[in-house]
Amino acid sequence: MTVVKQAIRENDVVALRHPVGKWPAGTSGTVVSERGEHKLIEISDERGQTLDFISQTEPQLRLVTKYS
């Protein structure tokens, strides 16, 4: 059986594999920009209010929902 890893793109929802600053592992956010392997992630609250932007490389992220 072949396992295909889907690339993470803009608008995809991702979760952090490791803590980043004040954000624990498992925190989810939306990819708003990408530069190759580097992704800019927007972290929002339940009302959609932006709380933070963080930059991570693709291996540090887990794809939650694919929208791209």
* pLDDT-above-90 percentage for the chain: 84
Question: What number of CA atoms fall less than 13 Å from residue 54's CA on the CB side?
Answer: 23
Distance of CA 49 to the CA centre of its chain: 16
Instruction: Tell me what pLDDT residue 5 has.
Output: 66
Give the chain's domains with CATH numbers. Answer: 13-65 (2.30.30)
pLDDT the model gives residue 56: 97
H or E element: which one contains 59?
Answer: none
* Confidence band, pLDDT 50/70/90 cuts, at residue 1: low
Residue 16, pLDDT > 80, answer yes
**Is 16 in a helix, a strand, or coil?**
strand
Residue 36 pLDDT level (bands cut at 50, 70, 90): confident
> Is the pLDDT assigned to residue 8 strictly greater than 90?
yes
